[in-house]
Structure 1
Amino acid sequence: MYEIIKGIHSGWAYIAFLLLVIASVNSFIGLFSKKEFTEKDRKISLFALAAIHTQLLIGFIIYFVSPLGFSSLGQMKDAALRLTSLEHPLMNIIGITLITIGWMKHKKLTTSESKFKTFSIYYGLGLVIILSKIPWGLWF
């Protein structure tokens, strides 16, 4: 069971990461080119939000069934265990929270520039935070 969930979590991470990068780049392009915020831009951001939330749900499942997750919280002297049991989940929750806040804030804004700016800041920060704690050694 653990290996299947781990495979799903790892595979879906590529999709979620790609969509988040596309949404972040799209928001920066829209901001700097001063283009109009369209339905396409909204959908790109929404797909990234949905993908990253799906990854979070899969991550919660794996956290509680993995021998490297919740059950190893008491072993903080081991850097690899600390990364998988504390740092990776916590920082990803913070990053996903920022992305979600960006999505919620954009709905109240009326100008294209402010929407792109909001997405650039919140999705960009979320992406950086998520990238900072990906267990790269387990990914490749």
Structure 2
Amino acid sequence: MYTTVQFIHSWWAYLVVIMLIIASFNAIIGTVTKKEYGATNFRIALFTLIVSHIQLLIGLLLYFIAPYFRMFGEVGMGGVMKDSTLRLYNVEHPLIMILAIVLITVGYSKHKKKLTSTPKFKTLAIFYTLALILVLSRIPWSAWF
């Protein structure tokens, strides 16, 4: 089960990163060019929110069935924090990814309350770009390629 969930989590991450890139650039371009916010822009933002939340659920399942999680019981928190690989998989990656999804969720919620196009795009640009930076900073690149 672990390898199946890990496989899904790894491949779904490509979709999340692609959607975050598309949504961030769409919002930045919309802010800079002052274009009208339309249904396509709404769908891009919503789809990014949905795929990131699905990734969160897959990631939480993976977290609790992964062999790295059992290391807490074997070496304790001090041992996890001393080992860079264990620290990445048990602390840094989950924490930063949850923070990124919180930013996506807050940005999406805030942008819906704006009445005009420029503030909508600006809100999405800020929150989604910050989330993209966080996601890219904590992807375990050595395991991903």
Q: Does 1:71 align with 2:76?
A: no
TM-score if structure 2 supplies the norm length? 0.93
**Which amino acid in 1 is paired with 2:66?**
S
Q: Partner of 2:99 in structure 1?
A: 94
TM-score if structure 1 supplies the norm length? 0.97
CA deviation after TM superposition for structure 1 residue 107, in Å: 1.1
* Distance in 2, Cα, partners of 1:134 & 1:40: 28
CA RMSD of aligned residues (A): 0.8
Q: Partner of 1:38 in structure 2?
A: 38
* Distance in 2, Cα, partners of 1:117 & 1:90: 26
Q: How many residues align?
A: 139
* Greater RCO (CA < 8 Å, at least 6 residues apart): 2
Q: Partner of 1:133 in structure 2?
A: 138
Higher Cα Rg, which structure: 2
* Distance in 1, Cα, partners of 2:71 & 2:137: 21
Higher helix share: 2
Q: Does 1:24 align with 2:29?
A: no
List 4+ stretches of structure 1 deviating above 4 A.
none
